[in-house]
């Protein structure tokens, strides 16, 4: 099948979605980074790429379906530094290092060239006062406003988990993590149809038809579907499931070696919240749907774990990453920084920008006000004031991420002399 016909085939499936008003979103990781809190998010706001269903006729025979415009998700309002709660109190040094990483990806963009050149000319390990002054002199704060006009939203957390595994299967290490399969087709629709900017479709070919890729249940029931694509085997099915939600992690092998793995691709099926399913069926109560609560339920009911996990058809594929990375790689393409990187909706907040986040620590009223960097995205991170806070690596980071579901406000810090972005 030619690339043009393949694109048309997948476009047909998207048009069907457009008729009923649904808008598939990208990237499709359940998010990576909706983190532990993705399990309690509204699945209607966590749609992933929609799979293609049927090969459509040639272009001359196609019925043209109008594209339904995506509604506005938020806006930006120019503010002052006085508006930022606790501005100048936090130690900005970790944020400065994360900002320099963002500049590595942003400096080719016209509005970022000057400010990133100035930043890289600053002597190493600048004083806190110099960092604060740099931001005040070169940036202007713009408050993020939701589509409904409110300025408050949800801040959740995610982290990089540690799993136990082996490069060879055994009775103990029997749950595989897979690399992206060769038969998974991804088409960037905007290459042919600009109106589908940021829309990508996933599926597989059967003869001359494009069909949805295998769901989680399909993959779990038939080990031959991805045979030969195993990266590593681990010892806990529930840990595998949550790794799919986090999107990256590390595996301690039998040899003692640490293997870093990251998100490679996704099967194109929408994410469905297992926490919501467990709650709807009376297995968990509202206050028990944290990552820790779901894991505790799974330990008590090992015979029913597969049934509920497979309610989420989305499936993530991984790749092995270099060991010398300082953190997992986010959507921006740079390593994330613990407690200084966040996942955002790039339709409102541009990737890479500094953001002033005003929220509270998990399950408390203790202020958490600081500069963070918008270096990641996630399928469940939708809307203006919506962020997923990266806590770092390991069990303590996991405990913080699993409990974080806080209110928050956000300001993007945009180069002072550049025209501000237009969300959406």
- How is the chain split into domains, by residue range? 74-158+332-415
DSSP result, 151-183: --EEEEEEEE-EEEEESS--SSS-EEEEPPPTT
Angle value at C-alpha 13, between 19 and 343, nearest 5 degrees: 90
Of residues 375, 396, 344, the one with CA closest to residue 160: 396
Cα distances (angstroms) measured from residue 313 to each of 11, 219, 226, 293, 306: 22, 10, 16, 21, 12
Of residues 29, 95, 92, the one with CA closest to residue 338: 95
**Which pLDDT value is given to residue 53?**
28
Token pair 């082996």 in the structure block, residue: 166
Name the one residue in this structure whose structure tokens are 């039998």. 254
Backbone angles phi, psi at 35, to 5 degrees: 60, -155
Per-10-residue mean pLDDT of the chain, 424 residues long, equals 46 37 34 36 35 29 35 87 96 97 94 96 95 97 96 96 96 96 86 70 89 94 94 94 91 95 92 90 87 89 90 94 92 96 95 98 96 91 95 94 95 94 78
Entry pTM: 0.78
Looking at residue 71, its pLDDT comes to 56
Q: For tokens 């099926």, what's the residue? A: 269
Q: In what order do the strands lie in the sheet with 185-188?
A: 185-188, 200-206, 209-211
Complete DSSP assignment for 370-404? EEEEEEE--TT--SSSEEEEEEEESHHHHHHHHH-
- What does the alpha-carbon distance between residue 377 and residue 176 come to, in Å, rounded to a whole number? 25
pLDDT at position 201, please? 82
Q: Looking at domain 74-158+332-415, does it have CATH number 3.40.50.2300? A: no
What's the pLDDT at 197? 66
Which own/partner pairs from 255-258 qualify as long-range (CB within 8 Å, at least 24 positions apart)? 258/323
What pLDDT is stored for residue 142 in this prediction? Answer: 97
List all residues 6 or more positions away from 314 whose beta carbon is below 8 Å from its beta carbon.
28, 30, 48, 216, 244, 266, 267, 269, 270, 271, 272
45 exposed, middle or buried (CB, 10 Å; 0-12, 13-18, 19+)?
Answer: middle
d(CA 30, CA 343): 12
């Amino acid at each position: 099948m030619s690339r043009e016909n393949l694109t048309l085939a997948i476009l047909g499936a998207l048009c069907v979605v457009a008729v009923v008003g649904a808008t598939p979103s990208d990237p499709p990781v359940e998010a990576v980074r909706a983190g532990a809190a993705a399990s309690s998010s509204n699945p209607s706001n966590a749609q992933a790429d929609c799979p293609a269903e049927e090969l459509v006729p040639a272009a001359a025979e196609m019925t043209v379906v109008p594209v339904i415009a995506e509604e506005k998700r938020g806006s930006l309002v120019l503010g002052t530094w006085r508006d930022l709660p606790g501005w100048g109190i936090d130690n900005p040094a970790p944020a400065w290092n994360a900002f320099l990483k963002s500049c590595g990806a942003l400096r080719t963009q016209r509005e970022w060239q000057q400010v990133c050149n100035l930043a890289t000319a600053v002597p190493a390990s600048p004083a806190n006062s110099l960092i604060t002054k740099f931001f005040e002199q070169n940036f202007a704060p713009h408050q993020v406003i939701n589509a409904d006009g409110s300025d408050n939203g949800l801040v959740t957390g995610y982290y990089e988990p540690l799993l136990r595994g082996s490069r060879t299967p055994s009775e103990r290490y029997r749950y595989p993590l897979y690399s992206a399969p060769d038969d998974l087709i991804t088409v960037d629709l905007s290459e042919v149809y600009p109106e589908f900017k940021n829309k990508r479709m996933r599926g597989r070919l059967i003869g001359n038809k494009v069909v949805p890729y295998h769901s989680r249940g399909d993959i779990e029931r038939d080990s031959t579907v991805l045979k030969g694509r195993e990266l590593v085997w681990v010892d806990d099915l529930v840990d595998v499931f949550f790794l799919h939600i986090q999107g990256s992690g590390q595996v301690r092998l039998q040899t003692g070696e640490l293997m870093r793995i990251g998100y490679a691709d996704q099967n194109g099926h929408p994410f469905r919240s297992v926490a919501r399913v467990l709650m709807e069926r009376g297995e968990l109560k509202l206050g028990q749907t944290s990552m820790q609560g779901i894991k505790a339920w799974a330990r008590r009911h090992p015979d029913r774990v597969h049934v509920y996990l497979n309610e989420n058809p989305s499936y993530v594929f991984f790749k092995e990453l270099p060991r010398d990375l300082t953190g997992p790689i986010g959507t921006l393409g740079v390593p994330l920084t613990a407690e200084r990187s966040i996942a955002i909706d790039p339709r409102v907040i541009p990737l890479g920008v500094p953001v002033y986040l005003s929220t509270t620590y998990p399950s408390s009223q203790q202020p958490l006000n600081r500069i963070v960097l918008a270096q990641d995205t996630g399928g469940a991170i939708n809307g203006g004031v919506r962020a997923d806070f990266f806590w770092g690596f390991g069990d303590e980071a996991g405990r913080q991420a699993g409990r974080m579901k806080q209110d928050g406000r956000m300001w993007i810090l945009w180069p002072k002399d550049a025209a501000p972005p237009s969300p959406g």
